[in-house]
């Protein structure tokens, strides 16, 4: 589980899943602006994992395995 928390959420930045969780927990900004705090950009490459994580934090339960799966799927799509 600790490995999953330390997985980088987006190639655009250096933030991990745990960093993103902490940012989302400590802000009341809407998704679009909170995303920029995590990635530092406005690209859509990491939209699915970040939006899922944002919603999970909002509901109070984070499924790290699901987020990891979405990150891997995103990376696979970008390679193709």
pLDDT for 53-74, tens place per residue? Answer: 999 999 999 999 999 999 999 8
Strand-pairing partners, residue 16, are 8
Rounded Cα gap, residues 3 and 60, in angstroms: 21
pTM: 0.90
Tell me the two tokens of residue 57.
């934090």
**What is residue 2's predicted lDDT score, i.e. its pLDDT?**
67
pLDDT band at 6 (very low <50, low <70, confident <90, very high): very high
Q: At what angle do helices 17-25 and 31-39 cross, to 10 degrees?
A: 140
């Amino acid at each position: 589980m600790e490995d999953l928390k330390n997985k980088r959420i987006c190639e655009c930045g250096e933030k991990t899943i745990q960093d993103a969780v902490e940012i989302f927990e400590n802000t009341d900004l809407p998704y679009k602006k909170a995303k920029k705090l995590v990635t530092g950009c406005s690209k859509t490459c990491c939209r699915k994992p970040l939006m899922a994580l944002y919603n999970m934090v909002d509901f109070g339960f984070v499924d790290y395995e699901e987020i990891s799966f979405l990150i891997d799927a995103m990376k696979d799509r970008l390679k193709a």
